[in-house]
Amino acid sequence: MDLVLLGGRVLTMDDAAPRAEALAIRDGKIVAVGDSSHIAAMTAPGTEVVHLAGRSVIPGFIDPHTHFSTSAFEPIAVDCRIPPMRGKAQVLDAIAAAAAATPPGRWIWGYGYSGRRGENPSDLTRRELDRVAPNNPVCIFDSSMHCCYVNSAGMDVAGIGRDDPDPDGGEIRREDGDPTGTLWERAMNPAHETSMGGLIDALGDEATADLVQQTGMRYLACGITSTGDAAVTPAAARLYEIADRRGKLPILIHQLRSGDQFFAAPERAAHGEVGGDYTSDRIRAGTVKIFMDPVFPRLAGVQFHPDGRQEHLGRPYYTQEQADDLAMTAARNGLQVAIHCLGTWAIDQGLTAIERANAVSASPDLRHRIEHFSMGSRAQIERAAELGVLAVVQPSFLYAMGNVMNAARLDLGLDTANTPMRSMLDAGVNVVASSDFPCGPLEPMLGIHAIVSRHVRDVAEPVAPEEAVTAEEAIRAYTLAGARAMHREHEVGSLAVGKRADLVVLSNDPTAVEPRYIREIVVEQTYVDGKRLFDRYGRQVAVAAAGAGA
């Protein structure tokens, strides 16, 4: 035996044997799950023994919707989040400091800005960015990732002309006809793709791979052993290939293939034409990402009036026919579709597109997904259950923005609460949890805390406590449900004999503590394929002699 873990509270997520005390691992796979005395008897000379001392073990977290490729550059990008930054002036100072230390001509990236928060909330302007970074192209992403702010050099390098017309589904914001530097939605596409490619070129393959490895370590520190990148463009695909070929991808990436640019229509992907992109044991594919609605200027929503009238607001990226066409094309080619739907109108279109895709799918079990399902009505929850849709929701948003989102729902007259996990599970929806990091906090334990306790950041009282789920249900949404969303439940998602030994050691058992203290539970160790890749305390674990450790 290579490794045994003894004396713990193991939550397996395996219905056949949901609880255990110990695990045995050989060649990266789980070979036994059971009580400590039984597993201790399997140790031999050279077996590593981890004494859990009552700690909890769960399957490695699976986060099927993050933006790993974007966050990979965070270590060399400017942190523009408000809070903790106070406002625009402080953000501009930070960009100026970065510019002073960056070779001329190299892209400067920033992340997390919001023109709607902090002191004197307003967008970063092209001229402000020109002033603080006169010699570099600059691209600062909005916290929503649906908009960015560029300087003049950024526009030039990305090939965005001052007089270019707005793309369909995007806007080059202007004042008196002059671009302000704010690029909404598809107008952001060239800046995102060109700058990511430019950063990879400037860094070179070795440093790029190192960044990916660091980012993987950051995920492992949260207990995440697999993630889905929810918009893989050609530049992102290149990033993954570079890292994997150098053995610097510590977690598994499932690619949700978007168009040739971030928000572009995934036409080639739906036809399976980019299915031949580099894949490996660590890099998976098979999913097509469709963005159904924007954030700017607003979601494609529905206002439910008290007299029963329904008013459509905003505009989806696609007509119903266009969306059906993309989804059906992908399904005919045996590809799963994952449709980003924030507003109620977008969810309607997404459900219809999936219904039509189901009818023509090359295989009956493609498991089409709606990403976010943020502003769903009761009727839509029931329809999602009927269609067998996977709803990939963000407990992280509930935690970070629970009060804001609840107010928005009330304004729209929606008949559901924010992140209605209880209602969705009770209706029979396949609910999957994710972070959408960097749009929400990465830590699954924060999401589990939010959907179990309904206690969220900056709010004293729990938000819609009737929507609480059990800790067991929450962990399942972050593990086995995520594995199903990636078609990987045969290899990960629960702790059962024969599966990969991807697992997390938690300081306490989330099912045993008072729910509002779940967020204080710490990820202590994370294992991938039986290897301990993260250890919070860096401690040396004794290698037991034969028979020891019982």
Q: Please report, as ranges, the residues that interact with Zn ion according to CB under 5 A.
A: 230, 436
Helix-helix angle 205-221:234-245, to 10 degrees: 90
In the complex, minimum distance from the CB of residue 414 to Zn ion, in angstroms, rounded to a whole number: 21
What's the 3-state SS for 321-365? HHHHHHHHHHHHCCCEEEEEECCHHHHHHHHHHHHHHHHHCCCCC
In the complex, minimum distance from the CB of residue 65 to Zn ion, in angstroms, rounded to a whole number: 6
SS3 of 93, please?
A: helix
In the complex, minimum distance from the CB of residue 404 to Zn ion, in angstroms, rounded to a whole number: 18
Q: Which is nearer to Zn ion, 377 or 435 (CB)?
A: 435
CA distance 393 to 408: 17
Two tokens, residue 480? 């086995």
In the complex, minimum distance from the CB of residue 67 to Zn ion, in angstroms, rounded to a whole number: 6
In the complex, minimum distance from the CB of residue 385 to Zn ion, in angstroms, rounded to a whole number: 23
In the complex, minimum distance from the CB of residue 436 to Zn ion, in angstroms, rounded to a whole number: 4
Which phi and psi angles does 25 have, rounded to 5°?
-130, 135
CA distance 286 to 270: 10
Q: Which is nearer to Zn ion, 230 or 337 (CB)?
A: 230
Q: Which is nearer to Zn ion, 52 or 77 (CB)?
A: 77
Q: Which residues contact 12 (CB under 8 A, 6 or more apart)?
A: 18, 19, 20, 33, 59, 494, 495, 496
Identity (one letter) of the amino acid at 69? S
In the complex, minimum distance from the CB of residue 49 to Zn ion, in angstroms, rounded to a whole number: 41
Planar angle of CA 402, 404, 408, nearest 5 degrees: 115
What's the 3-state SS for 52-86? CCCCEEEECEEEEEECHHHHCCHHHCEECCCCCCC
Q: Which residues contact 312 (CB under 8 A, 6 or more apart)?
A: 300, 301, 302, 303, 345
Q: Do 351 and 384 form a contact (C-beta atoms < 8 A)?
A: yes
Two tokens, residue 182? 């704010």
Two tokens, residue 231? 């918009």
Q: Do 54 and 44 form a contact (C-beta atoms < 8 A)?
A: no
In the complex, minimum distance from the CB of residue 291 to Zn ion, in angstroms, rounded to a whole number: 9
Q: Which is nearer to Zn ion, 398 or 505 (CB)?
A: 398
Q: Which is nearer to Zn ion, 347 or 452 (CB)?
A: 347
In the complex, minimum distance from the CB of residue 508 to Zn ion, in angstroms, rounded to a whole number: 30
In the complex, minimum distance from the CB of residue 57 to Zn ion, in angstroms, rounded to a whole number: 30
In the complex, minimum distance from the CB of residue 66 to Zn ion, in angstroms, rounded to a whole number: 8
Two tokens, residue 378? 């009761």
- Provide the edge-to-edge strand list for the sheet that holds 3-6: 29-34, 22-26, 3-6, 48-51
Two tokens, residue 157? 């390098």
In the complex, minimum distance from the CB of residue 371 to Zn ion, in angstroms, rounded to a whole number: 7
Query: Beta 61-66 vs 224-232: how paired, if at all?
Result: parallel
Query: Beta 336-341 vs 369-372: how paired, if at all?
Result: parallel
Q: Do 300 and 276 form a contact (C-beta atoms < 8 A)?
A: no
Give CA separation, 365 vs 69, 337, 384, 489, 529, in Å.
28, 12, 15, 13, 27
Burial 367-396 (b: 16+ CB within 10 A, else e): bbbbbbbbbbbeebbbbbbebbbbbbbbbb
In the complex, minimum distance from the CB of residue 71 to Zn ion, in angstroms, rounded to a whole number: 11
In the complex, minimum distance from the CB of residue 215 to Zn ion, in angstroms, rounded to a whole number: 16
- C-alpha 316: how far from chain center: 22
Q: Which is nearer to Zn ion, 436 or 473 (CB)?
A: 436
SS3 of 413, please?
A: coil
Q: Which is nearer to Zn ion, 193 or 436 (CB)?
A: 436
CB-based burial label for 234 (10 Å; 0-12, 13-18, 19+): middle
Q: Which is nearer to Zn ion, 113 or 534 (CB)?
A: 113
